Amino acid sequence: MVQRLHLVFGGELVTPEKNVFKNVEDLHVVGIFPDYASAHDAWKAEAQRTVDNAHMRYYIAHLHRLRDEETEASTTEELG
């Protein structure tokens, strides 16, 4: 079974026109979710909670896309 993990995070942007965070140390990590549907629910809740601040943005990162399951693991990964 393949896991499709998703990370939901957000923070204040320098300007609403660009995806550049004002301070990466202040990023809000909502959590890691086992599927897109639950990640979307968490993203939507945070986006609605901060709707009055035009500089706040929340994102869903598809963690499962960071790995290629078909590629053999590196030697350092095998140690983990």
**CATH classification of the domain holding 29:** 3.30.70.2400
Predicted local confidence at residue 64, as pLDDT = 81
pLDDT of res. 78? 47
Q: How many CB atoms lie within 10 A of CB 58?
A: 19
pTM of the model: 0.78
Residue 22 belongs to a domain: yes
- Find the domain containing 15 and state its range: 6-79
Per the structure, the count of domains in the chain is 1
Q: Mark the ranges of the chain whose per-residue pLDDT is less than 50.
A: 76, 78-80
**Residue 30 belongs to a domain:** yes
The candidate with the shortest Cα–Cα distance to 6, out of 61, 56, 74, 71, is 61
pLDDT at 68: 62
Residue-level pLDDT at 80:
46
pLDDT at 61: 94
In a domain, 1, yes or no: no
Continuous H helices in 1-80 = 36-49, 75-79
